Chain A
Amino acid sequence: MTDNTLLSVDDVVVDLPTPRGNLRAVDHVDLRVGAGRTLGVVGESGCGKTMLSRAILQLLPKKAKLSGRVMFDGQDLLQLSPEKLRKLRGRSLAVVFQDPMTSLNPVLTIGTQLIETLQEHLELDDATAKKRSAELLAAVGIPAPEQRLQQYPHQLSGGMRQRVAIAIALSCEPKLLIADEPTTALDVTIQAQILDLLAREQRRRHMAMILITHDLGVVAGRTDEVAVMYAGRVVERAPTPALFKKMRMPYTEALLAALPKIDAAPHTPLPAISGRPPDPTRPLKGCSFSPRCRYADGRCHNEKPALAEAESREHQYACFHPIETGVGASV
């Protein structure tokens, strides 16, 4: 645990009641993000990434039950009054959502949405807020920001809209930015631009970031640490270089193997992970990855491996049969 920890998530559990029974979306997760650092959270759809980010923001669905502790900047978010929490959101804790088509209000102009966020948290007069908004749009690489302020979201392209969403998130200089699959809804050519923009603004503002994605390739060059999630649990956690040098959890290996390689021959079939994630309303007794794991044996099916420290203090994984050799060095 470093001294300048900005966000610490301890033993967080999120339960969602469903007609088919209790769904454990996040299962005893511990995470730490230092000030100015980047944490990548990787996992396939439905593994609890988004629920984890909503739990940090305290924006879970009303029926969801949350337990554990979320400490942000010295405050326990679970104990804060709704009013204090509201002031914290947007001001020091901001989010960029996956789909800029839906995360911007379709009937308000870009300017209105930016200016109102600014005025909500910082006491700015109209002229200053407008000037700040134009500067922010320019900072996220939007040309002719003055004109853009007058426009509605549908008059902008997807990449532009995501830039606007980032500008809104950055508007009050947050200490932590949660980017929930910020590039999933965008074209591949735009993805790199948006990720580079996020990295640049993060360095410039010395802001911490949680980058949530299903794409190991996205976190590779852009994060300090990576947490791999599966079925609501963190199954492997390591500093990014260490993880790509020597991944231990078979799930991480399988995720990486599923990435297309640029030097592979054309029409090379991608090794998909067979099967589907376990039904979260029916928790397994053993390791949740065991039904799909090619290394699994009897112990894996009956006993849940704990997230344990491995050769170094930072590199943790939850597996009885860790992979011995590094495989991902080429990425």
Chain B
Amino acid sequence: MATLELSLDEDVAAAPARRVRRLGPLFWLATGWMIFVFAVAIFAELLPLPSPTDMDMLERRAPFSLAHWLGTDGLGRDELARVIYGARISLVVGLCAPIIGLIFGGALGMLAGYFRGRFESLVVGSMDVLLAFPPLILALAVTAYLGQSILNLTFILGVLSIPAFMRVARAATLTLARREFVIAAQALGATHSRILLRELLPNVMLPLLAFFLLGVAVIIVVEGALSFLGLGVPPPISSWGSMIGEGRESLEVAPRLAFIPAIAMFLTVLSFNLVGDTLRALTDPRQGAL
């Protein structure tokens, strides 16, 4: 049999070096902003900041000055300190709530998409029920009975994000479970747990992580909306949403009180989206991902 042993070793040398792609200035700006926000939020206590809750009734709505870089709010509290301490709340809630959704929604979605049958109907049905329930009423009910706290807020937002993660995980699993490599794994004697964890999870993780970063952005905004409505963190703790809500009262006199936290939120959410998209494209080992 005439075999052609032509191209056996010509591309071996060049293959391992992964080409470094240009990330662009936008990505670095977004990463820089995220690092900055995280750093000041984490080290807020070490910064030479006035207390975010100390009121100074003589300095209400003070303009920008050396003592108060971003001025003071309607109760004379330092605006910069409140934005920085507010970042803590927004970031903690914004990261923890989607993690709840990612873990529970992802697991339910993968199991539903892989095993199908009655379990899938049950999961999809209960998620539809959860989706159909007005989220604001749920948030109201939970805060009414369990009280306003960061933990409860994270819990509500986490539960509310489960259906979306479930749907993403299930849709990805449904298409992947029919692919030949899953049948090949079965033909090689893999257990269900191995197929789910080793074959499907790394594939499902990519869309889930991209969705997670989107989820962080959405949850930060939703937390802001809830705090704006007075359902979020209890005063005097500041979060970006509650600051916008408080700033609303003096929108005509001092619009900056609403706009400063709004700009912080806008830039952070935008950064999460930009970084999320780029990282997903970069880490996707599948062909033609970028």
Q: A residues touching B (Cβ–Cβ < 8 Å)?
A: 57, 59, 62, 86-91, 93-95, 97-99, 102-108, 116-117, 120-121, 141, 143-144, 147-148, 150-152, 154-155, 157, 165, 168-169, 189, 192-193, 196
CA distance A155 to B35 in the complex (A): 34
12 pairs across A/B with beta carbons < 8 Å? A62-B116, A89-B186, A90-B187, A97-B180, A103-B180, A106-B287, A108-B202, A117-B188, A143-B8, A150-B16, A155-B15, A192-B1
Evaluate contact between B190 and A120: CB separation under 8 angstroms. yes
Q: Which DSSP category, helix, strand, loop or mixed, fits chain B's interface?
A: loop
The residues of A that contact B1 with a CB separation of less than 8 Å are: 192, 196
Say yes or no for B252: interface residue by CB 8 A criterion: no
Looking at the assembled complex, report how far the CB atom of B7 sits from the nearest CB atom of chain A, in whole angstroms: 8
CA distance A94 to B186 in the complex (A): 10
The list of the 7 closest CB pairs from A to B, nearest first, reads: A90-B189, A90-B188, A154-B287, A89-B189, A102-B180, A143-B9, A95-B187
CA distance A57 to B189 in the complex (A): 10
CA distance A231 to B283 in the complex (A): 46
Among A89, A107, A152, A189, the residue within 8 A (CB) of B187 is: A89
Evaluate contact between A97 and B15: CB separation under 8 angstroms. no
Say yes or no for B191: interface residue by CB 8 A criterion: yes
Q: A143-B12, A144-B9, A144-B12 are in contact. Are A87 and B183 (CB under 8 A)?
A: no
Evaluate contact between A141 and B8: CB separation under 8 angstroms. yes
CA distance A141 to B4 in the complex (A): 13
The residues of A that contact B3 with a CB separation of less than 8 Å are: 192-193, 196
Nearest A residue to B186 via CB reads A59
Interface residues in B175-208 (C-beta closer than 8 Å to A): 179-181, 183-191, 194, 198-199, 202-203, 206
Looking at the assembled complex, report how far the CB atom of B260 sits from the nearest CB atom of chain A, in whole angstroms: 43
Evaluate contact between A120 and B189: CB separation under 8 angstroms. yes
The residues of A that contact B22 with a CB separation of less than 8 Å are: none
Q: Count of B residues near A, CB < 8 Å?
A: 33
CA distance A126 to B8 in the complex (A): 28
Q: A89-B189, A154-B286 are in contact. Are A104 and B181 (CB under 8 A)?
A: yes
CA distance A242 to B74 in the complex (A): 99
Nearest A residue to B4 via CB reads A189
CA distance A154 to B287 in the complex (A): 6
Among A120, A154, A169, the residue within 8 A (CB) of B285 is: A154
CA distance A121 to B198 in the complex (A): 16
Evaluate contact between B181 and A103: CB separation under 8 angstroms. yes
The residues of A that contact B190 with a CB separation of less than 8 Å are: 86, 90, 120
Evaluate contact between A91 and B202: CB separation under 8 angstroms. no
Looking at the assembled complex, report how far the CB atom of B217 sits from the nearest CB atom of chain A, in whole angstroms: 25
CA distance A310 to B286 in the complex (A): 53
CA distance A93 to B12 in the complex (A): 32
Among A59, A120, A147, A189, the residue within 8 A (CB) of B16 is: A147
Evaluate contact between A103 and B189: CB separation under 8 angstroms. no
Looking at the assembled complex, report how far the CB atom of A168 sits from the nearest CB atom of chain B, in whole angstroms: 7
Evaluate contact between B2 and A59: CB separation under 8 angstroms. no
Evaluate contact between B202 and A107: CB separation under 8 angstroms. yes
Nearest A residue to B285 via CB reads A152
The residues of B that contact A94 with a CB separation of less than 8 Å are: 187-188
CA distance A270 to B59 in the complex (A): 95
The residues of A that contact B185 with a CB separation of less than 8 Å are: 105
Evaluate contact between A102 and B187: CB separation under 8 angstroms. no
Looking at the assembled complex, report how far the CB atom of A139 sits from the nearest CB atom of chain B, in whole angstroms: 14
The residues of B that contact A97 with a CB separation of less than 8 Å are: 180, 183-184
CA distance A193 to B190 in the complex (A): 29
Evaluate contact between B12 and A102: CB separation under 8 angstroms. no
CA distance A26 to B187 in the complex (A): 20
The residues of B that contact A117 with a CB separation of less than 8 Å are: 188
CA distance A86 to B9 in the complex (A): 37
The residues of B that contact A95 with a CB separation of less than 8 Å are: 184, 187-188
Q: A107-B285, A196-B3 are in contact. Are A151 and B186 (CB under 8 A)?
A: no
Interface residues in B89-132 (C-beta closer than 8 Å to A): 116
